[in-house]
Amino acid sequence: MRDFIDKIRNIFRIEELRQRIIYTLLLLGVFRLGSYVILPGIDSAQLALDFQKGQGGGILDIINIFVGGAFARGAIFALGIMPYISASIIVQLLGAALPSIQKLQKEGDSGQKKINQLTRYLTVLITLGQSGAYIVNLRSMYPTATANMSSTFIWLMSLVILTSGTLFLVWLGERITDNGLGNGTSLIIAIGIISGLPPAIVNEARANPPMLFFIEVIALGLATMAVVGITQATRKIPINYARRVMGNRMTGGMTNNARQYIPLKVNSAGVMPIIFAQSIMFIPASIAQFFPESGFWNATGSVLGNPNSVVYSFTFALLIIVFTYFYTAIVINPNDIADNLKRTGGFIPGVKPGKKTGEYIDNILSRITLPGSVALAFIAIFPSIASAMGVSQSFSQFFGGTSLLIMIGVVLDTLQQIESYLLMRHYDGLMKTGSRSRKTQGAPGVSA
């Protein structure tokens, strides 16, 4: 415990890191404050009460979790940064199909700037559409709470405010990425999710006997450990480099002290398969709203919209496994890895460079993706299992699924950012054991 406290002190001894942490916390505080600024014409207390009665349901509850409750309060950040995430996903998928976007991806910083600009334009269009749908949904489902939103002026004003709120969060995320701890967009989503954890814990503790609540907390800890293990698990493929003479130095070759690897994550797709699968699961319920007299769509939407049903869990898990393979194929191209290795003089021991290397990497990737996809599917349906065992809906969502994966992924990335600053300043990393140490300015590896 003392070593951990010393490491926390070391963080604030580094001026640049201290400034970045404070800057990040201040901007995240702005986001949390904005989630309590209510749109004009909305009775926030009545809206929250109606939402808690279960009139939200389904995808509305998921959106509300991601934006830290702003959706249910009718706040200016009700849509959060999710339209930007949707735009980023669309551009990424288009990049796998359109040669023009693929060309931009290969142009370095200039191409990335154009892609970012395209993503922002698409974000505006998506946000305008979702803002209008959000206001129409509020007025139709919660007429009591939105009685003062009847005028066209207030409707248009709310449309502009919601769109501006999302664009402001995009700007906020970019500032955190550039001047803070990085991963600004992910941090905003994670803070929104984490904000719902303390009240969920308090409500669960009040509703259950101490021993039962203690068992639930232990189960939550085990689920968190399992997700951390899946997130960090990698398959390392060793690579060597041919010896080359550069000036008076010889580079490459295999050395026992500096062996290199290609790290392939067991879960390379991250949380995206769950997001895709959830979107598919809500399609029947959405179609049923347009065809209320259709018995087929109403029945299908009712079954696939019930997270506690066996059919829902099985279908959801199957879709996640399929989308895990699909998204892994998009983000990792074994042939590109093989070509890069060949250009730099690298090779996998016992495997011919070029096409054979690509096939070898593809085979390994296919084998490790199967257990990774099954584990991801189990993590996704575990909140439903916890809810069926008596855990409250608000608390069970933290036992797995998108919420837990995003929180753990962002926390691990942030810790790695902090660790890199500590190591650059010759401190022990936050995620390592031991006491603070400094290195001399002489030969590398010689301790003071």
What does the pLDDT average to over 340-350?
A: 85
What does the pLDDT average to over 132-160?
A: 83
pLDDT greater than 70 at residue 347: yes
Tell me which residue has tokens 């023009």: 100
Mean pLDDT of the chain: 81
Tell me which residue has tokens 């934006």: 67
> How many Cα neighbours within 13 Å face the side chain of 88?
11
- Between 18 and 164, the higher pLDDT residue: 164
pLDDT at 142: 82
pLDDT at 2: 66
Under 8 Å between Cβ of 25 and 17 = no
Whole-prediction pTM value?
0.77
Among residues of the chain, what percentage have pLDDT more than 90? Answer: 15
pLDDT at 91: 85
Q: Which domains does the chain have, with CATH numbers?
A: 14-195 (1.10.3370.10), 197-399 (1.10.3370.10)
**To 10 degrees, the CA torsion angle through 96, 100, 102, 105?**
-130
Question: Which candidate, 305, 372, 341, places its Cα nearest to that of 62?
Answer: 305
CA 51 – CA 36 distance, rounded (Å): 16
